[in-house]
Amino acid sequence: MVKEAIIIGGSNAGLMHGIMLKHHGYTVTILEQQEASTARQGFDAGIHMGPDVQSFLKEHDRVRRDFTVTCTPSVKYNVHGRPKLERGQTLVMTSWGLLWTILRANFEWYRSEIVPVAPRAGETDGVVEYRNGARVVDVRDVGDRVEVRFEDVRAQTGHSISADLVIVADGSGSSMRSVLMPGVTRQYAGYMCWRGTVKERLIDDETNKLYAEHVKTQLMKRNYIIMYTIPTDEGDLAPGERLHNWVWYQNLPDDSAEMDEIFTDINGKKHLGTVPRGLVRPEAWEKVKERASSALPEGLASIIHKTPAPFVTKIFDVASPKALFFGGKLFLVGDAQITLRPNAGMSTQHAAYDCNMLEQVVKGEMSPEEWERAVLRYGAAQRRYAILLSSFGLQSKLTAVWNLTCWLLLLLGQRLGLA
């Protein structure tokens, strides 16, 4: 008997789980609220390809095209632009939209400029559907199956389908997490980040030599910038066409006048989480450029100044105490389960870890309850680590030491079976 699965959310986390289940013979339906028929906007945002992402792709990627940039050990710079500390870590980077397109091709075989020849389906692959414009409103345990109720966004009609297995992968602001656990809500972490990209060819050669194919961290007083090289969402990997991707973390009180100014767009609309590209008010962006000119080395400041379309995002925390529901038929994964602050670059790695662990459940090598314990322990450790990293750049040394202590105690407790 063919097993059926429903994925709520069509982002990278949802696609990873959909691909894995399809390769194990499941009939898989992804319900995605966004109406766009094919591509999702990734805004050339950077992604760190951690070991679990690479492990997932080694097992399940059939596109087999190059889509990463390897960035050599990072160097931290002090306020005068002089190197302060070198870390012996090489990072593999890509862009959010590019990875999404490759995952989408693996899931349902559609062609694009990035993947002009679709990979062939395996003999044991299940049937799949990626359904846009489907806003999920409820999930219910109906015995041996889970019923998912959703609305067609365009037609405004209600529908319901059911499956043996349901994966909730609808992100940090998960509506389904709110249905399952109304008391678990996102909390503002006390800081935000400006983000942007600029093509290498728009930057002078001397600056490109300093920043291209490196992960650079610029430390300032309780704020910092991290920069690395990524391909474009369209798959450009050639020097000159690649992107300098930067993220500038800054403390900002939630109830401040500056917060209202930054998160009110050119049309006067106030945004709760992100002001997208093209909607940032010029006055707010001019203040960022002025600050860059006064606080940053000349090369880094020039990259900020030449960024054509920045956007700004608040940082949130949320951690679910549960990941398994309805007697092991519904799994809460990725950012919907635990949202990791972006300082550690672990969001996609977290989703891949959850997916790789769930594959062991599908194979019968792990019980759903063992999966829940594993992913909650992993998420808790990574969440605490991301908080630690953010405190080093944004808070006092005493706070950073406290967070380091909390992280180490958590790891010790997990090793001893106490957490």
Cα angle, residue 65 at apex, residues 63 and 67 outer, rounded to 5°: 120
Q: Which residue has the higher pLDDT, 143 or 118?
A: 143
Q: Is residue 84 predicted with pLDDT exceeding 90? A: no
Q: Assess contact for 258 and 95: CB atoms under 8 A.
A: no
Provide the total of helices (H) and of strands (E) in the chain, helices listed first: 11, 20
- Read off the pLDDT of each residue in 89-111 and give the average, rounded to a whole number: 90
Dist. CA 365–CA 359, nearest whole Å: 9
Dist. CA 224–CA 257, nearest whole Å: 22
Q: What is the pLDDT of residues 192-234, one digit of tens each?
A: 999 999 999 999 999 999 899 998 888 999 999 999 999 999 9
Specify the 3-state DSSP secondary structure of 110.
coil
- Read off the pLDDT of each residue in 88-104 and give the average, rounded to a whole number: 89
State pTM to two decimals.
Answer: 0.92
Can you point out the beta strands (E) in 271-404? 274-275, 311-319, 324-325, 330-332, 338-339
- Position 78 scores a pLDDT of 57
- Position 119 scores a pLDDT of 84
What pairing do the DSSP bridges indicate for beta strands 4-8 and 165-168? parallel
Per-residue CA distances from 328 to 141, 148, 309 (Å) = 11, 16, 44
Q: How many CB atoms lie within 10 A of CB 92?
A: 15
Q: Is residue 366 predicted with pLDDT exceeding 60? A: yes
- Position 80 scores a pLDDT of 55
- Position 89 scores a pLDDT of 73
Residue 2 binned pLDDT confidence (cut-offs 50, 70, 90):
confident
Q: What is the pLDDT of residues 234-271, one digit of tens each?
A: 999 999 999 999 999 999 999 899 999 999 999 999 99
Dist. CA 388–CA 179, nearest whole Å: 31
Q: Assess contact for 336 and 177: CB atoms under 8 A.
A: yes
- Read off the pLDDT of each residue in 340-345 and give the average, rounded to a whole number: 90
Q: Is residue 404 predicted with pLDDT exceeding 60? A: yes
- Position 190 scores a pLDDT of 95
Instruction: Pull the structure tokens for residue 254.
Output: 């939630």
- Read off the pLDDT of each residue in 289-299 and give the average, rounded to a whole number: 94
Q: What is the pLDDT of residues 139-159, one digit of tens each?
A: 999 999 999 999 999 989 999
Q: Is residue 183 predicted with pLDDT exceeding 80? A: yes
Backbone dihedral angles phi then psi of residue 98, each to the nearest 5 degrees:
-65, -45
- For the chain, what is the radius of gyration of the CA atoms? 22
- Position 121 scores a pLDDT of 82
Q: Assess contact for 310 and 331: CB atoms under 8 A.
A: no
Instruction: Pull the structure tokens for residue 319.
Output: 């951690």
Residue 75 binned pLDDT confidence (cut-offs 50, 70, 90):
low
Give one DSSP letter per residue of 196-261, joined into a string. EEEEGGGS-HHHHHHHTTEEEEEEETTEEEEEEEE--TT---STTTSEEEEEEEEE--TTSHHHHH
4-38+97-185+322-384 and 69-95+187-316 share one CATH topology?
no
Residue 87 binned pLDDT confidence (cut-offs 50, 70, 90):
low
- Position 77 scores a pLDDT of 55
Mean pLDDT estimate for the chain: 92
Class of domain 69-95+187-316: alpha beta
Which of 92, 22, 4 minimizes the C-alpha distance to 55? 92
- Position 83 scores a pLDDT of 55
Q: What is the pLDDT of residues 24-71, one digit of tens each?
A: 999 999 999 998 654 455 555 889 999 999 999 999 999 999 999 999
Instruction: Pull the structure tokens for residue 117.
Output: 């020849």
Q: Domain spans of the chain? A: 4-38+97-185+322-384, 69-95+187-316
What b/e string do you get for 252-281 counting C-beta neighbours within 10 Å, with b at 16 or more? Answer: beeeeeebeebbbbeeeeeeeeebebebbb
- Position 344 scores a pLDDT of 86
Per-residue CA distances from 172 to 9, 102, 337 (Å) = 11, 22, 8
Fold of 4-38+97-185+322-384: FAD/NAD(P)-binding domain (3.50.50)
Q: What is the DSSP letter of 321?
A: S
Q: Is residue 5 predicted with pLDDT exceeding 80? A: yes
Residue 122 binned pLDDT confidence (cut-offs 50, 70, 90):
confident
Q: How many CB atoms lie within 10 A of CB 357?
A: 20
What pairing do the DSSP bridges indicate for beta strands 134-141 and 128-131? unpaired
Dist. CA 177–CA 168, nearest whole Å: 8
Dist. CA 154–CA 149, nearest whole Å: 16
Cα angle, residue 15 at apex, residues 11 and 16 outer, rounded to 5°: 120
- Position 45 scores a pLDDT of 81
Q: Is residue 287 predicted with pLDDT exceeding 80? A: yes
Q: Is residue 10 predicted with pLDDT exceeding 90? A: yes
Contacts of 186 (CB under 8 A, 6+ apart): 172, 173, 316, 317, 318, 339
Q: How many CB atoms lie within 10 A of CB 290?
A: 11
